[in-house]
């Protein structure tokens, strides 16, 4: 079992629905973090030497334990973040179980040595292959909105590749991270291979500044830039997932009933605290009024409350500061001419962190709610006149994480998707691309650098080494020293032999190239 050494100041885990204190911890100091990284460094070589098959077996055991403890884990997620219990199961536990399935089924093939064929006849006497080797110690800084699935997927990927991991979770969700550590320990992770350091931003800064070999950060753009600047001082590789302002494009031929339901789930799931959530909705003018009406009617039927209540659809925001941010976006939009047709207010009768799911119309691109990441249960809806305008509006953002296009014509949707600047585009669905374990997750522009999940996520956790073996070890190579006055002419003939498009010239070059092979005087 990993021992987490901590020192002041303290952090607390609080149930955002009730305000109940769940646990308090002392923050790991800079020295604690350095010690954890040092122990992870010493443990990593043996973990790598354990072998890929045995590490895959550990992932399989972890999957078994997680499935057996799914109810306990989902309840803990709901308590610490506030999301509905059923949502914790479907968007966190189930996603991690499938990510483990992907690694068990594919890690051996993806991480094994790959033969590299040589196209040039000059190198046919060589055999080369690509080796993927662990980077060493991976530092993971994970967010509070998906306190189990995000660190679990990243840690499992790093571990199966032979790395050790030091995980710093959000200061708001320490318990979920410790539960992940417990499951991995029970599954058979060796001592010090996975360590959790608890703390606030200073602890995260200490981890980035420590002797790790790569940092994987999920969080805000502002903090991500700070991580990148600090990492740049020593060329530390980074993987940054920095959120989004994901657009939803509803074309004139879309199924309005289905699209409106998708918009609500995409905007309000996890109380809108999802990097892939629908933060901007653009609807063709022809169906705009009907779409808005359906969204408003369906929103009024949603149940808001404690995530552990089986009737709850939407839980609380994580804390007061996030609620104030969401509230400020709505107030700014109203001041600039937007109208609230549903919601737009706090729900103090339910608790301090509850905000009603909100539909905004008469919005414009200049409003904060259309430009900044809201991260709350707000759905702004804006009409468009043409597909060209819809694409322009979708791309009018500093973010580029994901987007969705809604149409009955799949080919049409795919053509529009090709024009949108985002890391993932879904046709007639939202968010669930994160749960497709084979699919990469990550964005462009201010949404980050690199990819997690799938084969691309595995590639992020390894270094690429090329190994080349010469099959004629006793032969001095044609291009070695001892050039002499005729060598340049021989090389000209050799290039003609290999690349000239004139047959006669290649034939003459072949005769001349024989002299290169017979060349004497090589050192």
CATH of residue 351:
3.40.309.10
Q: Are residues 222 and 252 in the same domain?
A: no
Q: Are residues 414 and 335 in the same domain?
A: yes
CATH number at residue 177: 3.40.605.10
> 275, 281, 295, 433: which one is catalytic?
275
Q: Are residues 230 and 293 in the same domain?
A: no
How large is the average pLDDT for residues 144-157?
Answer: 98
- pTM (predicted TM-score): 0.95
Pick from 1, 75, 463, 78: nearest CA to 270: 78
DSSP state of 314: B
Q: Are residues 148 and 189 in the same domain?
A: yes
Distance, CA of 362 to CA of 76 (rounded, Å) = 40
Helix residue ranges, H only, 82-147: 85-88, 94-111
Q: Are 248 and 430 in contact (CB under 8 A)?
A: yes
Q: Are residues 98 and 33 in the same domain?
A: yes
Is residue 179, in this structure, part of any structural domain at all?
A: yes
Is residue 121, in this structure, part of any structural domain at all?
A: no
Q: Are residues 340 and 282 in the same domain?
A: yes
Q: Are residues 488 and 429 in the same domain?
A: no
Is residue 143, in this structure, part of any structural domain at all?
A: yes
Q: Convert the pLDDT of each residue in 325-355 to its tens digit.
A: 999 999 999 999 999 999 999 999 999 999 9
Is residue 273, in this structure, part of any structural domain at all?
A: yes
Distance, CA of 275 to CA of 292 (rounded, Å) = 23
Q: How far is CA 22 from CA 78, 243, 485, in A?
A: 12, 28, 82
Is residue 281, in this structure, part of any structural domain at all?
A: yes
Is residue 202, in this structure, part of any structural domain at all?
A: yes
Is residue 371, in this structure, part of any structural domain at all?
A: yes
Q: Are residues 207 and 273 in the same domain?
A: no
What is the domain extent for residue 167?
27-116+126-242+455-465
176 flagged as catalytic = no
Q: Are residues 370 and 325 in the same domain?
A: yes
Q: Are residues 79 and 182 in the same domain?
A: yes
Is residue 482, in this structure, part of any structural domain at all?
A: yes
Distance, CA of 355 to CA of 84 (rounded, Å) = 15
Q: Are residues 366 and 237 in the same domain?
A: no
Q: Given 424, 446, 465, which residue is the final one in a domain?
A: 465
Q: Are residues 73 and 182 in the same domain?
A: yes
Angle separating helix axes 94-111 and 52-68, nearest 10 degrees: 170
Confidence of residue 514 (pLDDT cuts 50, 70, 90): confident
What pLDDT sits at residue 518? 84
241 flagged as catalytic = yes
Q: What is the CA angle 168-173-179, rounded to 5?
A: 80
CB atoms within 10 A of CB 123: 13
Q: Are 294 and 329 in contact (CB under 8 A)?
A: no
> 87, 92, 171, 241: which one is catalytic?
241
Q: How many domains does the chain have?
A: 3
How large is the average pLDDT for residues 152-158?
Answer: 98
Q: Convert the pLDDT of each residue in 228-287 to its tens digit.
A: 999 999 999 999 999 999 999 999 999 999 999 999 999 999 999 999 999 999 999 999
Pick from 501, 459, 407, 436: nearest CA to 237: 459
Residue 4 has pLDDT above 80, yes or no: no
Q: Are 246 and 279 in contact (CB under 8 A)?
A: yes
Confidence of residue 521 (pLDDT cuts 50, 70, 90): confident
Tokens of 436: 């497709």
Q: Convert the pLDDT of each residue in 82-112 to its tens digit.
A: 999 999 999 999 999 999 999 999 999 999 9
């Amino acid at each position: 079992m990993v021992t987490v050494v901590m020192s002041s100041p303290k952090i607390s885990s609080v149930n955002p629905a009730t305000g109940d204190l769940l646990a308090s911890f002392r923050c790991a100091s800079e020295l604690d973090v350095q010690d954890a990284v040092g122990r992870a460094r010493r443990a990593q070589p043996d973990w790598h030497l354990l072998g890929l098959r045995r590490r895959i077996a550990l992932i399989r055991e972890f999957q078994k334990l997680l499935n057996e403890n799914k109810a306990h884990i989902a309840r803990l997620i709901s308590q610490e973040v506030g999301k509905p219990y059923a949502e914790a199961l479907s968007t966190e536990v189930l996603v991690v179980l499938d990510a483990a399935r992907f690694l068990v089924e594919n890690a051996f093939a993806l991480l094994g040595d790959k033969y590299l064929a040589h196209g040039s006849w000059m190198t046919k006497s060589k055999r080369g292959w690509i080796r993927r080797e662990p980077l060493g110690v991976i530092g993971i800084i994970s967010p509070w909105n998906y306190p189990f699935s995000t660190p679990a997927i990243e840690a499992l990927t790093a571990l199966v590749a032979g790395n050790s991991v030091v995980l710093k979770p959000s200061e708001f969700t320490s318990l979920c991270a410790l539960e992940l550590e417990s499951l991995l320990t029970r599954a058979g992770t060796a001592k010090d291979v996975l360590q959790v350091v608890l703390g606030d931003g200073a602890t995260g800064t200490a981890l980035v500044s420590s002797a790790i070999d790569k940092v994987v950060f999920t969080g805000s753009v502002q903090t991500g830039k700070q991580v990148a600047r600090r990492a740049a001082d020593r060329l530390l590789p980074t993987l940054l997932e920095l959120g989004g302002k994901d657009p939803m494009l509803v074309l004139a031929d879309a199924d309005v009933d289905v699209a409106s339901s998708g918009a609500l789930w995409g905007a309000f799931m996890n109380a809108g605290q999802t990097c892939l959530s629908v933060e901007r909705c653009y609807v063709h003018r022809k169906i705009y009024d009907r779409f808005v009406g359906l969204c408003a009617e369906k929103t009024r039927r949603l149940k808001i409350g404690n995530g552990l209540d089986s009737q709850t659809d939407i839980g609380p925001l994580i804390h007061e500061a996030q609620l104030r941010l969401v509230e400020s976006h709505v107030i700014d939009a109203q001041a600039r001419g937007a109208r609230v047709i549903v919601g737009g207010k706090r729900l103090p009768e339910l608790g301090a962190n509850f905000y009603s799911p909100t539909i905004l119309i008469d919005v414009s691109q200049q409003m904060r709610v259309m430009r900044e990441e809201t991260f709350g249960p707000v759905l702004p809806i804006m009409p468009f006149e043409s597909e060209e305008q819809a694409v322009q509006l979708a791309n009018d953002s500093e973010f580029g994480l994901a987007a969705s296009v809604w149409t009955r014509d799949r080919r049409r949707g795919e053509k529009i998707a090709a024009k949108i600047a985002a890391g993932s585009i879904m046709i007639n669905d939202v968010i669930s691309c994160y749960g497709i374990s084979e699919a990469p997750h990550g964005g462009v522009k201010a949404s980050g650098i690199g990819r997690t999940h799938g084969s691309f996520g595995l590639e992020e956790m390894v270094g690429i080494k090329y190994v080349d073996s010469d099959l004629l070890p006793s032969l001095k190579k044609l291009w070695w020293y001892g050039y002499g006055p005729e060598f340049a002419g021989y090389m000209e003939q050799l290039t003609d032999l290999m690349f000239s498009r004139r047959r006669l010239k290649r034939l003459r070059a072949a005769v001349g190239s024989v002299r290169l092979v017979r060349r004497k005087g090589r050192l």
